Amino acid sequence: MKKKWDALLFLVILAIGSLSLLVIFSIDKNLAANQFVFWIIGLVTLFLISFLDYKIWGKLSIPFYFLAIFTLSLLFLVGEPVRGSVRWIDLGIFRFQPSEIAKVGTIFILAVFYLERSAADFKNLIYSFLIILPVISLIFWEPDVGNVLAILGIWFGISLACGIRPKHLTYLSISLLILGAILFKLLAPYQQARIKTFINPSADPLGTGYHLIQSKIAVGSGEFIGRGLGRGSQSGLKFLPEAESDFIFAATVEQLGFLGGVLLIILFSFLIHKILKITGSVDRFGQLVIVGTASFLILQYTVNISMNMGLLPITGITLPLYSYGGSSLISTLFLLGVIFSIIRFNRQ
């Protein structure tokens, strides 16, 4: 057994984290201090998980999945509403977001499900969707559309890697359009307003269109080299809401300009490339865990950056490894620790 540590992959993770801490520090020094602590906890988690044989997560996939369902259900008993959503459980010392546990659990259980099955069989595709349906339903009713998309992204990515057929993609697309129309009617009023605002943000510039307008102003004002760290008018003067989390990409471009935005996208792209490159030399379970991790990273990067630039509706989805927040950061570093374990325990 040949043990390895991918130093370049680790350096890319640290580079994304360093850039994130710089931008958060320029917005709020106290939040940056908290995020630094989260990074220390997350990196220790990554390091420890990398020494565990990744195959153990296949054996623990069902308990992990039911832990996710349990914590999501617990939200409706002990969770407190924050800006119209119930997404966090407050433990006094810190808050955690059960949907982040759900992402990890979904990756593990789908990887086990498809271990000896193919998505080319439509029956398996339906069964795999039924597996994640309880998680999607619980997250949807928080409501948290952003993380519903992340779970669907994991399911779609793993199913795609397992040989989903083109005709099934057609059926799936039609079904999603119908489902989307139905779900739109079930969305909270503020979520419906966000989608309507995307079509015409100037219709309510001080209400539902405010976030999108301020984000586009921040992105545009950064120009080529940016205003400089701590000198952003939109993020620094609090005109840009959630500048440290949902709209951190806009805050980055405002302060570091087009160059800063491109650097961040390059780092993200290289991270995903490095992760997916590993799939060529590992077993099927390892491949599916990597694909599942890469799928939610790609989806969240794409959706967050696009919504910051006004290309997609605002969904409240964050940038993994970059936005402020302990639950998202630690769960992502946990999954990256599993990927380092896959590298370490891979038989060449």
> Which string of DSSP letters, residue by residue, matches 89-140?
EE-SS-EE-HHHHHHHHHHHHHHHHGGG--TTSHHHHHHHHHHHHHHHHHHH
- How many percent of the chain have pLDDT more than 70? 92
Enumerate the domain spans of the chain.
7-345
Mean pLDDT to the nearest integer, 57-73: 96
pLDDT interval class at 347 (50, 70, 90): low
pLDDT interval class at 200 (50, 70, 90): low
pLDDT of residue 48: 97
pLDDT of residue 348: 46
Per the model's pLDDT, the better-predicted residue between 159 and 172 turns out to be 159
1 has a pLDDT exceeding 50: no
Mean pLDDT to the nearest integer, 57-77: 95
27 has a pLDDT exceeding 90: yes
* C-alpha distances out from residue 159 to 49, 113, 152, 258, Å: 26, 11, 10, 35
pLDDT of residue 122: 92
Token pair of 103 as six digits: 């992402």
142 has a pLDDT exceeding 50: yes
232 has a pLDDT exceeding 80: yes
pLDDT of residue 88: 87
pLDDT of residue 234: 86
pLDDT interval class at 23 (50, 70, 90): very high
Closest CA to 164 of 127, 132, 121: 121
Alpha-carbon distance of 323 to 256, in angstroms, equals 16
pLDDT of residue 328: 95
Residue 32 makes CB contacts below 8 A (sequence gap 6+) with: 21, 24, 25
Alpha-carbon distance of 261 to 253, in angstroms, equals 5
Q: What is the mean pLDDT of the chain?
A: 89
> Helix and strand tally (H, E) in the chain?
14, 2
258-271 pLDDT, tens per residue? 999 999 999 999 99
SS3 state of residue 176: helix
pLDDT of residue 25: 96
Contact of 69 with 118, CB cutoff 8 Å: no
SS3 state of residue 82: strand
189 has a pLDDT exceeding 50: yes
Mean pLDDT to the nearest integer, 310-319: 85
pLDDT interval class at 51 (50, 70, 90): very high
Contact of 238 with 271, CB cutoff 8 Å: no
172 has a pLDDT exceeding 90: no
Alpha-carbon distance of 159 to 152, in angstroms, equals 10
pLDDT of residue 79: 77
317-327 pLDDT, tens per residue? 899 999 999 99
Alpha-carbon distance of 314 to 214, in angstroms, equals 12
Contact of 175 with 183, CB cutoff 8 Å: no
